[in-house]
Amino acid sequence: MRCLITGASSGIGETIARRLAAEGHPVALMARRTERVREIAAELGSAIAVPGDVGSGEDCEAVVQRVVEAFGGVDTLVNAAGTWVEEPLHAATYEQIRRFVDTDVSGALQITRAALPQLMKGGGRLVHINGLQGLIRVRPPVLYATVESAVRGLCESLRWEAAPHGVHVGFITLGSVANTEAATPDMVVLHSGDERNRLSRDEVADAVLFMLSRPEGVNIDELVLTPLQQSF
């Protein structure tokens, strides 16, 4: 698989990129943090850095073109780019709202649009990483529920539109993840007392690689991963 991973400078995106590269797949790392993706790519024998912002349509088109030039095409897109706004809607600034929507909603749409012509050439695969608030809308923050619901709509609709072109569209919905700790941290990090309340990044990557490894024509519409005792 010739893979493009967004949000690859840290967290879940970085872990997925490292796991795919370890399996020998050519991997392109996209993120805004230019020096960081270059550092990671230099560590991985089959990776290239393609700095860019999913919130910019021009960046998305340019990144896909660079991957095509380097690898000859794009078979797989994993979109792990995302940001976060904690404030309630009445306290969020308009700049926070704009940046959140640009990255999590417009970014998902734009990188998908840029990669689709390549994915349509050979039964490619697309995976979006999403949060649980798009599925269980029971509490704030409102902005999180809004953007995650939008990405859910994108994937559920695109699945039907892209299927005639052989494109597999998958969606992974996550509960709480230990996103800033080691990819496989000490188990105490994933627990609160005796209760398992966080997932590791490697556990998320396991789900992504499982989804990507299904036979052609087999589509996993959605996987929902939650730590058993997370409180919602």
Query: pTM (2 decimals)?
Result: 0.94
Over residues 78-97, the pLDDT tens digits come to 999 998 888 899 999 999 99
pLDDT of residue 128: 97
Which residues have C-beta within 8 Å of that of residue 90, sequence separation ≥ 6?
none
Q: Name the pairing type of β-strands 76-79 and 191-192.
A: unpaired
Fold of 3-225: Rossmann fold (3.40.50)
- What percent of the chain stands above pLDDT 90? 77
Phi, psi at residue 201, to the nearest 5°?
-65, -35
Q: Reduced to 3 states, what is the DSSP secondary structure of residue 183? A: coil
Q: Which region, left, alpha or beta, applies to residue 25 given φ > 0 means left and ψ of -120 to 50 means alpha?
A: beta
For 41-91, the pLDDT digits (tens) are 999 988 999 999 999 999 999 999 999 999 999 999 999 999 888 889 999
DSSP state of 7: S
- Contact between residue 78 and residue 18 where contact means Cβ atoms under 8 Å apart: no
The answer to whether the CB of 97 falls within 8 A of the CB of 123 is no
Q: Is the dihedral of CA 209, 212, 218, 223 positive or negative?
A: positive
Q: Where are the domains of the chain?
A: 3-225
Which of the four pLDDT bands, split at 50, 70 and 90, describes residue 137? low
Is 80 exceeded by the pLDDT of residue 138? Answer: no
The neighbour count for residue 75, using CB atoms within 10 Å, is 21
Alpha-helix residue ranges (DSSP H) falling in the chain: 11-22, 34-43, 57-71, 94-101, 107-119, 142-162, 201-212
pLDDT, position 232 = 66
The encoded tokens of residue 90 equal 């009445």
What is the average per-residue pLDDT within 17-28? 96
Contact between 3 and 78 (Cβ < 8 Å): yes
The catalytic site residues sit at: 144
Per-residue pLDDT reduced to its tens digit, 185-214: 888 888 888 888 889 999 999 999 999 999
Q: Tokens 């052989």 belong to which residue?
A: 166
